[in-house]
Structure 1
Amino acid sequence: MEDEDLTHVSWKDTAFIQAHGLNEHSIMPYFALSQFYDKSSINEQISMQARFNQLEASQLDKRQMTGLFYELVYAVMTSPSLFIITKSMRRSPTQADVVAAYYVIEGTIYQAPDLHTLTSNRILNSLSHVQKTLNATLSGSRYHPAIGNFWESDEKFLQPPAEEKLDEADLEKPPSLSEDNGDLNRKAIDQVTESKTEEIETRFLGDSTEDRNRAGRFAANLDALVHTTWGSAIEPTDAWEEARGSEPEDTPTAAT
């Protein structure tokens, strides 16, 4: 029972409390009735000796005995009442190691968790809250290949402004092409054509002396290149004659 973990259970005996109450003298017999108590302890040995031989029990020195030992270390009688009991392993009259602690609140007994269990639970609770915070944060994040990561609340700053819609009454209607206002129509068309022409910057070849010289050099080089290429492609007129003169004439074979 020494290594059994009972931090997840509690124990209470209402009948004992009503019959005897809880105080510094009754708390240890009350604790001995619970599942937290180990009957192989020094307390149980002394209790058994006192039950059969009180004189021999009074002569026992529990500090000289080795083994498990329960001891009341703290007591508060006012409501809510609190008692703290430690469980120690006594190895010598001067050496005892505390292996567990129990607290009794208003008659209910609990086993106190050890430092490792307490720290682990606190860390797990903290990590759980951190995980929830990260999940909530990630749900509000966005990503775009052009700008990278940004927050959902910043989407309104990244969207282009909506185009203002003009009422039909504010739009200037072009004049209709009718015979009554033909002059007005032609004038409007000329104005639009002039404005479009001004927006386009046109530059023609030959506007300057440098352009004309550059065009002349380009034409001369192009003409020389064409002449050379064409000359290389045409065979000389006497090429075939020279070739025929070098070949031996065919001599007919006399019939036998």
Structure 2
Amino acid sequence: MVDQRDALGTSWHDSTWIPILSANNVMDYFAERTNPFYDRTCNNEVIKMQRINPDHLHNLVGLEYTLLHVQEPILYVIRKEHRHSPNQVTPLADYYVIAGKVYQVPDLGSVINSRLTSSINHLQEAFKEARSYARYHPSKGYTFEFKSQNGQEPETKKRKRETEKELGSLFQTQRVDMLLADLARKFPPKLPNQPPPPNPDGEVKVERAESVVSAAPSQASEAKTKPPPDKKPRLA
């Protein structure tokens, strides 16, 4: 018998049976000695060796094979099961006979695993192709450059790329503004010490006081420097 781990990747056929294969002899075809899916310790072999009517197979207990579905002339489904009583069986495996070739039917876990593996493979190929189109520039960030069907760059993208060389992109402008704002927060500029804004009322008072003070010494100096007037004798 074939190992269960390798059963899903194994097939078997006998070309001499294929032209005459039918629902009447498909069980004999499946019971060929060279078929790796057939277990010779089953009850089918016991009935064949003892030349008992196959209808008595339901009265035995143990491993057996039964024809489950027929779609002539190309499809036959044979089930491997363990019989506990005439009315109770436990299915173990199913086999397809398609165009004379025998395959084991995969179980649900194997089908889901195969579908997930195939999906993951396609996703990996998609990400790999997407990474091949990705481009990074310090001033622009990440961009994608897709090629046309003939392998050349589209004219619109070419003109856009040439225009972006002359003018800064939005990413470049925002990036520079963000860096400048970050530097301004970390290193605020030091402004020179300036006096508080003067009070208009106080300024007027100070100017008036200064004018009074400055005017007082000037009058005193003039009084000192000015000669006294000549006193003339009053005539009687």
Match of 1:194 in 2: none
Give 1:159 deviation, angstroms.
4.1
Give 1:128 deviation, angstroms.
0.8
Distance 1:14 1:58 in 2: 28
CA contact (8 A) 1:17 1:107 kept: yes
Higher relative contact order (CA 8 A, sep 6+): 2
- Counterpart check, 1:38 vs 2:39: yes
Percent identical across equivalent pairs? 35
Give 1:3 deviation, angstroms.
6.0
CA contact (8 A) 1:42 1:69 kept: yes
Which 5+ residue runs of structure 1 have no aligned equivalent? 51-56, 164-256
The normalised TM-score by structure 2 is 0.58
Matched residue SS, 1:110: strand
CA contact (8 A) 1:46 1:60 kept: no
- Counterpart check, 1:84 vs 2:77: yes
Matched residue SS, 1:75: strand
CA contact (8 A) 2:75 2:98 kept: yes
- Counterpart check, 1:69 vs 2:72: no
Larger radius of gyration: 1
- Counterpart check, 1:24 vs 2:62: no
- Counterpart check, 1:141 vs 2:134: yes
* Match for residue 96 of structure 2 among 69, 79, 103: 103
Matched residue SS, 2:16: helix
Match of 1:54 in 2: none
- Counterpart check, 1:10 vs 2:11: yes
CA contact (8 A) 2:43 2:64 kept: yes
Distance 1:17 1:162 in 2: 72
- Counterpart check, 1:151 vs 2:144: yes
Match of 2:106 in 1: 113
CA contact (8 A) 2:11 2:103 kept: yes
The normalised TM-score by structure 1 is 0.53
The amino acid of 2:48's aligned partner reads S
Provide, for residues 193-238 of structure 1, a one-character-per-residue CA deviation record: whole Å limited to 9, x for no partner: xxxxxxxxxxxxxxxxxxxxxxxxxxxxxxxxxxxxxxxxxxxxxx
The amino acid of 1:157's aligned partner reads K
Distance 1:66 1:28 in 2: 19
CA contact (8 A) 1:89 1:98 kept: yes
CA contact (8 A) 1:102 1:111 kept: yes
Comparing 134-143 with 59-68, greater Cα deviation is found at: 59-68
Distance 1:59 1:6 in 2: 27
Residues 161, 14 of structure 1: alpha-carbon distance in 2 compared, 3 angstrom cutoff: closer
Give 1:46 deviation, angstroms.
1.0
Provide, for residues 151-201 of structure 1, a one-character-per-residue CA deviation record: whole Å limited to 9, x for no partner: 1256753544688xxxxxxxxxxxxxxxxxxxxxxxxxxxxxxxxxxxxxx
Matched residue SS, 1:7: helix
Distance 2:17 2:144 in 1: 63
Distance 1:97 1:3 in 2: 20
Matched residue SS, 1:61: helix
Give 1:138 deviation, angstroms.
1.0
Match of 1:93 in 2: 86
CA contact (8 A) 1:85 1:101 kept: yes
Distance 2:87 2:164 in 1: 83
Distance 1:107 1:14 in 2: 8
Give 1:72 deviation, angstroms.
0.7
Distance 1:151 1:59 in 2: 70
Please report the RMSD computed on the Cα atoms of aligned residues, expressed in angstroms.
2.5
Paired residues in the alignment total 153
Comparing 25-34 with 136-145, greater Cα deviation is found at: 136-145
Residues 116, 155 of structure 1: alpha-carbon distance in 2 compared, 3 angstrom cutoff: farther
Distance 2:54 2:119 in 1: 53
Residues 156, 59 of structure 1: alpha-carbon distance in 2 compared, 3 angstrom cutoff: closer
Distance 2:136 2:54 in 1: 82
